[in-house]
Amino acid sequence: MPLGRSFDRSDRALRSRCRLTTGLAAAAVASGLALAGPVRASAPLPVAAVEPSGPADGLLVKFDPGTPDAAIRSAVAAAGGRIEEPAGDTGYLKVSTRDVPAAEVAALLDRSTLVSEVGPNTIRYAAAIPNDTNFSQQTTYLQAMNLPAAWDSTTGNDSMTMAIIDSGVQLNHPDLVGRLVPGWDFVNRDSDPSDDFGHGTMVAGIAAASTNNGRGVAGATWQGKIMPIKVLDSRGQADDENIAAGIRWAVDHGANVLNLSLGGPGEGTGILQQAVNYANSRNVVVVAAAGNDGDKSVQEATAPHYPAACAGVIAVGATDAAGNHASFSSYGNWIDVVAPGAVSENPARGISTTMRGSTYGAGSGTSFSAPLVAGVAFLMRAANPNANQATISSRLISSTRDLGPAGFDAVYGTGMVDATAALAAVSGAFSSASTNGSGYWMLGEQGAVYRFGGAGFLGSAPLTGGVAAADLEPTPSSGGYWVVDSAGHVFGFGDARYHGAAGALLPGEQVTSLSATPSGNGYWIFTSRGRVFNRGDAPILGDLAAVALNGPILDSIPTPSGLGYYMVGSDGGIFAFGDARFAGSMGGKHLNAPVQSLVPDPDKSGYWLVASDGGVFAFDAPFRGSMGGVRLNAPVTGMVPFGNGYLMVATDGGAFNFSDQPFSGSLAGSGPIQPIVAIASKAATS
């Protein structure tokens, strides 16, 4: 079977983070209020293009350099379009679609091997300026997130609901009263979630105050309902039981986005993680404040706060309006994104909002960064109601504006939330929800781990010394994973126990993969020369140390018994050891591109190989499809078993699903990310 080339059009990804439970924290607030979150991860399913939600003036099309004019005219006509004029000196052509749907013309052009890019000629407008009297005090930090420009695309959706899980809300505040739906008070166990602390009223106003109504402040989302859930008492305290109960109540009563501007350090019992899992499994986006311990010792400042650090939560740190790290904001590699939590380092210049007593004021803290981000998530849901929780979260996280060191870092996460970019990113979102527990992880070249669907984020590998990440392997329970780098160092996360690193490597030799034993109490580390280091209960079954290889060994898989393993070389050669059954290989045959990965079929009788162009070879295994013959945006770097088929990943984070399991997103087109070097899958749990 010939190999081909591929293209990708998939969903992006979500990083989450650690797990478990919490206490509470406080944010400095003007007017003497104190609290907040604590301070200072059978057929292919490439996603089809979706018609943009905003108006467009035809299409913009770019052909490959050197394409003859006659071929260009022919391709456009065949797709049902008509060339109007060159788009200045940009290299693009303006194409009208007449009576043919623009999406249909675009799809046909996109299939042409001559076309390098096609998309809507989107019409833009001046950024919306609401008439709220205090809007001038908000402009600087809202523009830092590109929120005014995003309002040109959508201002929300009144059929959707955001739950404010906090201290309740002043139910008759003039800037909130028209937005409220019934909530619940878990402090007093009744249906009156009135705010006797003040914090929840402030959070609600930042997220969703009535906007363009000639009074007060503008909310991040102008439309939509607010569901007040009271879990914080009059002192600003709550326990994990009430917080978890509040999450579940909000989900059961129709909330689409949850905001939790509360939390504290400490892992706890897992009750918060279970509540977050419940929300995610029911397609609800969860946003939480990272906490306000940044001015304390490094150990305290970087200690994960929960629920922000739970897997499946968007953890929000704080900056000032200029994008500088707010000194009070907690930080660490469990932070996903940042948003303004103050106008400047002076706490008196905080985020403007509604206050108890039908007044207005301002506050500083990650408690006030989180509702800005929750508002953006709400706008994304309004822009594409079919987009699932994983897609919303991953695209919000991956469409940020990078701050600090290039790429993800422990202070800013992926960067400042960009509302306009997030809305653009979600306009073509794939909408299948991953509610059965399945999911997958991607591993970045510098050790960053990105999670999708039911796969929890447990940490990224802190690589040093210029080595690159090589492979990620989940534990049998999927409650942990190992990351191995090219020098053979191993990092364990969750329930992945450390059993040792690789031994001394030879000149030019690199570690390329790690495979776990069925018990999870050991693993094999494989090198490019086919040498094997066995650790824990992994038996040594042979290696290729004495064999002259035609290409480096790039991947490995164990047999179900743990008494055998396979290795695959870049030339497609398969090497079987122990009880591994040889079913064929591509060794010695012509390849269009080097082989990257070896994947067992579900009954373990055979296997699949994938090449960097997305071509797939099946050996005693059913062929599920490939990307061979399709143009790829980036080369395929790995493939893993997924349900009854397999899942590919490209170096740009694009994912291709050839299985019966839900597609949970990808990183393709998400902006600056680490090049992806590996993918690992989590089995369905229900």
Alpha-helical regions (H) of 474-575: none
Strands 34-36 and 25-28: antiparallel
Q: State how far the Cα of 612 lies from the Cα of 599, in Å rounded to an integer.
A: 14
Q: Give the amino acid at 213.
A: N
Using alpha carbons, select from 215, 200, 213, 206 the residue that is nearest to residue 147. Answer: 206
Do residues 565 and 577 touch, judged by C-beta distance below 8 A? Answer: yes
Q: State how far the Cα of 678 lies from the Cα of 434, in Å rounded to an integer.
A: 21
Cis preceding linkage at 539, omega within 30: no
Q: Which of 16, 195, 199, 352 is catalytic?
A: 199
Instruction: Give the Cβ contact number of residue 178 at 10 Å.
Output: 10
Q: Give me the long-range contacts of 74-79 (CB less than 8 A, separation at least 24).
A: 75/109, 75/112, 75/114, 75/115, 76/109, 78/108, 79/105, 79/108, 79/109, 79/112
Q: Which of 8, 110, 166, 471 is catalytic?
A: 166
Q: State how far the Cα of 273 lies from the Cα of 309, in Å rounded to an integer.
A: 9
Contacts of 460 (CB under 8 A, 6+ apart): 41, 333, 408, 444, 447, 448, 449, 483
Burial class (CB in 10 A: 0-12, 13-18, 19+), 68: exposed
> 265 in helix, strand or coil?
strand
DSSP string of 396-418? HHHTSBP-SSSS-BTTTBT-B--
- Rounded to the nearest 10 degrees, what angle do helices 419-426 and 366-383 cross at? 30
Instruction: Give the Cβ contact number of residue 188 at 10 Å.
Output: 14
Compute the CA torsion angle 413, 416, 418, 421 (nearest 10 deg).
Answer: -50
Q: State how far the Cα of 102 lies from the Cα of 119, in Å rounded to an integer.
A: 9
Measuring CA to CA, how many Å separate 37 from each of 22, 64, 211, 334, 410? 11, 51, 25, 15, 18
- Rounded to the nearest 10 degrees, what angle do helices 389-398 and 419-426 cross at? 140
Measuring CA to CA, how many Å separate 561 from each of 57, 237, 520, 639? 60, 51, 12, 22
Report residue 12: phi and psi, to 5°.
-95, -165
Report residue 520: phi and psi, to 5°.
80, 5
Q: State how far the Cα of 329 lies from the Cα of 342, in Å rounded to an integer.
A: 10
Report residue 217: phi and psi, to 5°.
-120, 165
367 is catalytic: yes
Q: Give the amino acid at 266.
A: G
Alpha-helical regions (H) of 25-82: 69-78
Q: State how far the Cα of 33 lies from the Cα of 314, in Å rounded to an integer.
A: 25
Measuring CA to CA, how many Å separate 538 from each of 186, 395, 401, 605? 51, 39, 44, 21
Q: State how far the Cα of 234 lies from the Cα of 197, in Å rounded to an integer.
A: 5
Q: Which of 6, 367, 486, 528 is catalytic?
A: 367
Q: State how far the Cα of 214 lies from the Cα of 217, in Å rounded to an integer.
A: 9
Q: State how far the Cα of 505 lies from the Cα of 72, in Å rounded to an integer.
A: 53
DSSP string of 119-151? EEEE---PPP----TTGGGTHHHHHHTTHHHHT
Task: Name the residue with tokens 């001038």.
Answer: 136
Which positions are catalytic? 166, 199, 367
